[in-house]
Amino acid sequence: MNRNPFNATRFLGYVNEVTPQKVSIHIPSAWLLSQFRIEGETISGGNVGEYVAIEGERYGFVAKISSLKLPDSERKALSEKAVNDEGSQFHPIAEAELLMSFKMADPQAVEKTASRFPEIGSRVYAVSAAYIQMVLSADNRRMVVTKMPVVQLGGLVSNGVPCNLSLNALFGRHCAVIGTTGSGKSHTVSKLLYALVEETGNKIVILDPTGEYSTFDDNVAVESRIMGQTCHFPYRQLSIADLFYLLRPTAQSQRPILAQAIRSLKTVALAKRQGDKTLDSYIDEQGCLKKMGMEKRAVRGFQYKNINAIEDEYCSFDIKLLGFQIKAECVFESARDNATQRDDPSRWGGFDVRMNDYQASLKLRIQELLASNEFNALFNFKGDQPETSISAVDLFKGFLADKNKRVLRLDFSQTSSSFSAREIVANAIAKFLYNQAKNKDYLKSPLVLILDEAHLFVNKRLLDADQNVIPLDAFDLIAKECRKFGLFLCLSTQMPRDIPVGTLSQMGAFIVHRLINEQDRRTVEMACSSASKVALEYLPALGPGEALITGVEFAMPLVVKVSMPRYRPNSATPQLSVKQEG
Ligand SMILES: Nc1ncnc2c1ncn2[C@@H]1O[C@H](COP(=O)(O)OP(=O)(O)OP(=O)(O)O)[C@@H](O)[C@H]1O
Ligand SMILES: [Mg+2]
């Protein structure tokens, strides 16, 4: 196959203007733009979206045509016949965006750079499909892996050249799949998921908010669990911060009391676990820590001795007691000695009615949460979940240890969105994986965490009772810190503007389907520096399954038509029906 991009039969024109981003090409005759066939392949001259090669002295360049026009002086003479005629007297001007360069001595060694430019007068050629294919695979070859896993994503929109992308290049620095609803994100994710299963030996966890990926369940390598039915996240494994998200205490009067109550209950739980008797007289018949009128010293001493366990981040206490303990916390800081009429700071004082009144909404929220069967099934508050519902922590441990299981699908379709439970559970799972990654568990064999409809999980607008933004930051931390630890994030969303910019800007690869909303486009533009503005201009015009692919590991942005995945996600839009007569 002839891989030289410069072939006289494909000559298109000359460079007549160079700016940092673009070159302008003078085309001596409009006739050169028409499609033709050589050596069995169709070369579509120089239409918008096509690739061209520019022949410099030492360096050659690949560029993509972004606009085409006639000089003003020629526009008046325009007629359909005249433009396409052989020997046409029209001289169109094309603008093309520079994508990459290569040494003239070695056209196969492509480089992505903005520091070299073609000279005025350089010759421009339409490039063949084979050359583009070569560039794509050369790009893949840069990865230092002997046999590289690839995904056969589909074909280039402009000329159908098959597009095989390195999975390392896609996932190695996290990946975002973006597009409006119905643009084909889930199909693309399904395609990627299948490629990961077939081509790599790695494990994949997918958080599936709507149950769309249940079509994968008949694959033996897939373990599938429905959150709140066949899997729960034990509340004792939630962090104290997670519990605060669920309960949303007001900052001034509820937050400190809640923190105190948690500390007291952890103290009780720890004393029981250690068989320590010193606090026995403090523990009431329910199991709460009594404070009213009690000496502080023994409690303080015990807490001081066990400070690490009591201040650790987990909810290792009996949550059923939380409402009662909050009431027990509502005491004055110092007792009053009746005889001397002096404050006695060594003991807690009497019941503080006003403080207790302030806790009403918090206690109500706790009651509501604990009484709901749905939340009990999700967090196992009552410790009564049947054996059919496994703890997420055990599930992960089993999944990671089982050689035959490759994909863990966690189905959130039954999970309530009230109390922000879905976000909190997803965040807790992400935190769990984050901790494992930091523990170097995935260094040898990276794990890919896929998050479909990420805006449902990574909601940057979650507010607490005082309207402060709550940072549910586990995904953010993964994006920022976990690449080196082998935990790769792949998130798909229709609302990039709802994803924290910090998370989005860590993404090394973008697969952007049709995107109409101006604000979303701007968000993507800000996040992916490598995609030039010109490439992003195609976004509103893309059809279903068509996507712009860009990223640090790719030599140039590509517009690809993604082919149908083996397992189609379950996402068909229900159809309106014709009215039945009679
Ligand atoms: N690669 C493709 N080729 C052809 N058609 C496609 C392709 N991908 C998706 N479609 C069509 O677009 C429809 C929507 O696809 P999909 O559910 O993947 O979109 P989505 O972006 O995930 O939407 P949502 O945001 O609603 O989840 C599909 O039903 C399918 O008919
Ligand atoms: Mg979808």
> pLDDT tens track of the chain, all 582 residues?
456 778 777 888 999 999 877 899 998 877 777 766 666 666 666 777 788 889 888 888 888 888 888 888 777 777 666 666 666 677 888 998 888 888 887 766 667 666 788 889 999 988 876 777 666 665 554 443 446 788 889 988 877 778 888 888 889 899 999 999 999 999 999 999 999 999 999 999 999 999 999 999 988 899 999 999 999 999 999 989 889 888 989 888 999 999 999 999 999 999 999 999 999 999 999 999 999 999 999 999 999 999 999 998 899 999 999 999 999 999 999 998 888 888 899 999 999 999 999 999 999 999 999 999 989 999 999 998 888 999 999 999 999 999 999 999 999 998 887 778 888 899 999 999 999 999 998 988 899 999 999 988 876 555 555 556 666 788 989 999 999 999 999 999 998 888 888 888 889 899 999 998 888 888 888 877 655 666 777 788 888 999 998 887 777 788 899 999 999 998 766 677 788 776
Q: What is the dihedral of CA 182, 184, 190, 196, to 10 degrees?
A: -150
Residues 199, 202, 203, 208: is their CA dihedral positive or negative? negative
Residue 436 CA to residue 400 CA, distance in Å, equals 11
Counting ligands in written order, which one lies closest to the CA of residue 452? Answer: 2
Is the distance from the beta carbon of residue 181 to the nearest atom of ligand 1 less than 6 Å?
yes
CA dist 41 and 239 (Å) reads 61
Decide: residue 35, CB within 10 A, 0-12 exposed, 13-18 middle, 19+ buried. Answer: exposed
5 within ligand 1 shell (Cβ under 6 A): no
Q: Is 494 in the pocket of ligand 1 (CB under 6 A)?
A: yes
Residue nearest atom 26 in ligand 1 by C-alpha distance: 181
Q: Is 492 in the pocket of ligand 1 (CB under 6 A)?
A: no
Nearest ligand by distance to the CA of 191: 1
Atom of ligand 1 nearest to the CA of 565: 1
For ligand 1, whether the C-beta of 496 sits within 6 Å is: no
CA of 545 to the centre of ligand 1 (A): 6
Compute the distance from residue 430 Cα to the ligand 2 centre, in Å. 21
The rounded distance, in Å, linking the Cα atoms of 237 and 387 is: 18
CB atoms closer than 10 angstroms to residue 115: 6
Given the structure tokens 């090409």, which residue do they identify?
Answer: 25
Nearest CA to ligand 1 atom 1: 545
CB of 209 within 6 A of ligand 1: the answer is: no
Ligand 1 in contact with 210 (CB < 6 A)? no
> Is the beta carbon of 543 within 6 A of some atom in ligand 1?
no
Residue type, 497: R
Q: Identify which of 151, 180, 183 to mutate to test ligand 1's pocket (most ligand atoms within 8 A of the CB).
A: 183
CA of 76 to the centre of ligand 2 (A): 48
Distance CA 455, CA 498 (A): 6
pTM score: 0.83
**CA-proximal residue: ligand 1, atom 24 (nearest):** 181
The CB of 572 under 6 Å from ligand 1? The reply is yes
Check if 570 has its Cβ closer than 6 Å to any atom of ligand 1: no
3-class SS letters over 155-201:
EECCCCCEEEEEHHHHHCCCEEEECCCCCCHHHHHHHHHHHHHHHCC
Beta bridge partners of 283: 289
How far is residue 563's CA from residue 545's CA, in Å, rounded to a whole number? 7
> 10 in ligand 1 pocket by Cβ < 6 Å?
no
Q: How far is the CA of 401 from the centre of ligand 1 (A)?
A: 34
Distance 124 CA to ligand 2 centre (A): 41
Q: Which CATH architecture has domain 163-230+389-562?
A: 3-Layer(aba) Sandwich (3.40)
The CB of 200 under 6 Å from ligand 1? The reply is no
